Amino acid sequence: MPASRIDAMDAFVFHSCVADGNSSLRHHCGIVGISSREEVNMPELLFYGLFSLQHRGQESAGLAYRRQGKIKSYRSVGMVSTALSHYLSESHPSRLGIGHVRYSTHGTNKLENAQPIVVSCSKGEISLAHNGNISNSELLQERLIAEGSIFQSTTDTELLLHMIARSRQASFRDALVECLGLIEGAYCFLLMHEDALYAVRDPYGFRPLVMGRRDGQVMFASETCALNMFQAGDIREVEPGEIMTVEGARVTSEKLPAPRELAHTQGTLQPRRAHCVFELIYFARPDSEVFGRTVHMARKKMGEMLARADTVKADIVIAVPDSGNSAALGYSHASGIPLEQGLTRNHYMGRTFIQPTPAMREAGVRMKLHPVREAIAGKRVVVIDDSLVRGTTSRQIVKLLREAGAREIHLRLCSPPVRHPCFYGIDIPTHEELISNRLDPEGIAREIEADSVQFLSMDDLRQCVPNPEDFCYACFSGEYPTPVRDAPVSKKC
């Protein structure tokens, strides 16, 4: 599509991957769940929780709540403020609800792939919201289809419900535990069944899930920023491999059995933790505490480490907003180079479902990021971004800064080179599309027309996170913490 036509489409909005600081990584979802001793306007509360998690998924939003013994649900494509706004002016008293925001990582962005999913089966009515990626879903799904199951969506989330429905265990809880023992990969699940809310996190702890309390309510969310908005207290992580059951405000907790690949050790060997390090680099909101560290502080440290390893002479440091903001501050503190606002970001762009062409990508970057000419002109500029994937967005940013008069442009990335696919819920382009598989930093600088490019080293990244051995770095190292059987996430989209 020619850029001129794009310019003319005033209602046109671009897919997130063309205009975030990062060019191509998309994460999967955000989830929220609430159990309340007293009846409250549950959809309204879920709306506020999901609104706080909007950055984790902007293509669809949905909620489910229990009212008069039945599960009511609503799902729509679009952002929370439009998809669910009608709930702000209606009252739906309820004690139990879950909600979900989604990117189309696994499964295309159709309404049937939006969540929460609600089914009625041999175990009764169940509603489910999922953040993550089941990495042996293809194998499990093939078996279920051979046995007669009919899938309505193309997401891996539906799989768990089919498995629970077919389980011979008499109770929902026993069926859930049995089925969780068969799935692999990254998952945080929130499920509603009868009057209980279940929260589950996979034994490796890939994705974050936290719990908090307030006024007779127990709340779960992907990130603490949602719980903080509710002014919840007693915040703690749902532990890796923990399954929590909540009825009213009463919480019970138990451990999941060891994952299948370690079952032969009969519980003597527990899986190592494998928190996704990209949650700290890019995905999570800066004010959230994720895996024991406030995201802003982790990113600031990344900037400091980049500066310590750098010898470049520059006049100003600027961030690619928003994910580069904290790291640019850290780089500036450590280097003594003044921080400037060299790029502003238009926060009012929505998201859409159109796959971008190169012309659309360029237009998308120009619509979203705007150089501040007077701050940049004639300056040697260090630009801080979170990561480099295809290199296409970085090339556009360099072009924007050159047009604004930057004398030199030195791109610094808060992560090591991305070289491998993800099997745990992050959509990373194919091996061939990843620029770091084709070029070294000098070659990348030439291709994107920057004066230099430098990555954060793996050793330095490990110094920015608490308990570095508890993290997954597989998209940098290719060392996967679990067996990988299915195609990577990007091939499933």
Pairing of strands 196-201, 185-193: antiparallel
Q: Does 29 participate in catalysis according to the annotation?
A: yes
Q: What span, in angstroms and rounded, lies between the C-alpha atoms of 251 and 199?
A: 10
In the block, residue with structure tokens 């207290």: 233
The only residue of 172, 189, 291, 424 in contact with ligand SF4, by rule CB under 6 A: 424
Q: Could you say which of 47, 204, 206, 282 contacts ligand SF4 (CB under 6 A)?
A: 206
Q: How far is the CB of 396 from ligand SF4 (least distance, A)?
A: 23
The letter for the amino acid at 202 is D
> Is the Cβ of residue 202 or residue 242 nearer to ligand SF4 in the bound state?
202
Cα–Cα distance, 416 to 427 (Å, whole number): 17
Least distance from C-beta 202 to ligand SF4, angstroms?
Answer: 11
Q: For residue 344, give the 3-state DSSP assignment.
A: strand
What is the amino acid identity at position 157? T
- With beta carbons less than 8 A apart as the criterion, state whether 414 and 454 touch: no
Closest CA to 180 of 207, 197, 154, 199: 199
Q: Prior bond to 440 cis, omega within 30?
A: no
Q: Which two tokens stand for residue 343?
A: 């790029």
Amino acid at 478: G
User: Burial of 239 by CB count in 10 Å (0-12 exposed, 13-18 middle, 19+ buried)?
Assistant: middle
Query: From the CB of 277, what's the least distance to ligand SF4, in Å?
Result: 5
426 near ligand SF4 (CB under 6 A): yes
> By C-beta, is 198 or 473 nearer to ligand SF4?
473
| Pair 319, 376: CB distance under 8 Å | no
Residues forming beta bridges with residue 220, ordered by sequence position:
33, 211
Contact in structure between 59 and 106 (CB atoms under 8 Å): no
Amino acid identity of residue 266, one-letter, is: Q
What is the nearest approach in angstroms of ligand SF4 to the Cβ of residue 476? 7
Which span (143-151, 290-298, 396-404, 471-479) binds ligand SF4, by CB under 6 A? 471-479
Closest CB to ligand SF4 among residues 27, 361? 27
Of the ranges 251-259, 273-281, 311-319, 361-369, which one interacts with ligand SF4 (CB under 6 A)?
273-281
Q: Are 370 and 364 in contact (CB under 8 A)?
A: no
Q: Which of 246, 244, 248, 213 is nearest to 231 (CA)?
A: 213
User: Which segment (42-50, 158-166, 194-202, 422-430) binds ligand SF4 by CB under 6 A?
Assistant: 422-430
Q: Which is nearer to ligand SF4, 340 or 427 (CB)?
A: 427
Tell me which of 475, 482, 486, 490 binds ligand SF4, using CB under 6 A: 475
Amino acid at 188: C
Binding map of ligand SF4 across residues 166-205, x = CB under 6 A, - = no contact:
----------------------------------------
- How large is the greatest C-alpha to C-alpha distance in the chain, in angstroms? 72
Sign of CA dihedral 59, 413, 391, 432: negative
Q: Give the contacts of 41 (CB within 8 A, at least 6 positions apart).
A: 91, 92, 93, 94
Q: How far is the CB of 70 from ligand SF4 (least distance, A)?
A: 37
| The one among 56, 259, 472, 482 contacting ligand SF4 by CB under 6 A | 472
Q: Of 364 and 488, which has the nearer Cβ to ligand SF4?
A: 488
Which C-beta is closer to ligand SF4: that of 332 or that of 415?
415
Binding mask 431-470 for ligand SF4 (x = CB under 6 A): ----------------------------------------
Calculate helix-pair angle for 172-180, 157-166, nearest 10 degrees: 130
Q: Which is nearer to ligand SF4, 105 or 394 (CB)?
A: 105
Task: Kindly report the number of other CB atoms within 10 A of residue 152's CB atom.
Answer: 10
Region from 81-89, 113-121, 272-280, 409-417 binding ligand SF4, contact rule CB under 6 A? 272-280
Q: Is 87 in the site for ligand SF4 (CB under 6 A)?
A: no
Q: Which residue in the set 50, 226, 448, 474 belongs to the binding site for ligand SF4 (CB under 6 A)?
A: 474
The region of 48-56, 80-88, 262-270, 473-481 touching ligand SF4 under the rule CB under 6 A is 473-481
Nearer to ligand SF4, 360 or 464 (CB): 464
**Given the rule CB under 6 A, which of 94-102, 271-279, 330-338, 386-394 is the region that contacts ligand SF4?**
271-279
Q: Are 60 and 83 in contact (CB under 8 A)?
A: yes
Interface with ligand SF4 includes 103 (CB under 6 A)?
no
Q: Which residues contribute to the site for ligand SF4 (CB under 6 A)?
A: 206, 276-278, 422, 424, 426, 472-475
**Active site positions, annotated:** 29
